[in-house]
Amino acid sequence: MPDMKMFGLVLIGLACFVFWLYWTLKIRFFGRQRIRILTVTGPSGSGKTTIVGELLKKHPEWKMVLSLTSRESRESDLPGEYRCNVSRKEFLRRELGREFMWLVRAHGNMYGTLQADVRMALDSRNLSLMQILPDSVKQLRIQAPGRVLSVFILPPDEEGLRRRLERRGEQPEAIERRVADCRKWEEEARFSDIPYEFIRNDGTVVEAVEKVEQIIKKHL
């Protein structure tokens, strides 16, 4: 069993290397590649899902990169973001087939993004969007150098965040936990080697969307 596990890890490493080599050589011999995927990251409560949703409405040609999940659909899911209720049997089959770029298990559910769907986004003429965690951002940028733009959404300053959460009726203990969590996310992001474009979401949704659009325009 340990030998099989090691063999599987070697195959995953080889697949990632081939993916990286493909895009590196493409950039080397065919010139600078255009940004094709926008990753949006931020702590819970930063407003990132609302911002991405408004971007999709404003630019219907932009699409989410599809991910698979074993959980049921939620109202907060964005159009094209997830294929829900995927069986664990299918997850296992695809995992054994080394089809995932990444696979995450969280809160009893499984989430995964297929390499094929990422390739499709990279080959598209239009921009694709992803809401993903920092570890996945780092992996994606390694696999597709020069093709990924990463935005980090920051909530208002701590006092502004407290006021926002108070208006929502959250309890003081929950508010302080949320503030501490946001502080940790920001510190880790600023010291990360990921070249994020930071946006402070301390105004209206329209203003935040315009900030993201300006960043995209600068890089396209």
- pTM for the model stands at 0.80
Q: In this structure, how many other beta carbons lie within 10 angstroms of the beta carbon of residue 158?
A: 13
Residue 32 has pLDDT above 70, yes or no: no
Which candidate, 83, 62, 78, places its Cα nearest to that of 126? Answer: 62
100: which strand partners? 114
Reported as a single tens digit per residue, the pLDDT across 103-124 is 999 889 999 999 999 999 999 9
Q: How far apart are CA 187 and CA 191, in angstroms?
A: 6
Q: Which of 43-47, 55-59, 78-82, 146-150 has the lowest mean pLDDT?
A: 43-47
Measured between alpha carbons, how far is residue 113 from residues 19, 24, 65, 68, 197 in Å?
14, 21, 8, 6, 23
DSSP E strand stretches across the chain: 37-41, 63-64, 67-69, 82-83, 100-106, 109-114, 128-131, 148-154, 197-200
Domains delineated in the chain:
2-219 (3.40.50.300)
Q: Are 129 and 56 in contact (CB under 8 A)?
A: yes
What pLDDT, on a 0 to 100 scale, did the predictor assign at position 2? 57
What pLDDT, on a 0 to 100 scale, did the predictor assign at position 43? 92
What are the helix and strand counts (H, E) for the chain?
Answer: 8, 9
Measured between alpha carbons, how far is residue 10 from residues 3, 15, 135, 215 in Å?
11, 9, 20, 38
Residue 193 has pLDDT above 80, yes or no: yes
The contacts of residue 127 (CB under 8 Å, 6+ apart) are: 35, 36, 37, 38, 59, 61, 62, 216, 220
Angle at 150 between CA 135 and CA 102, to 5 degrees: 30
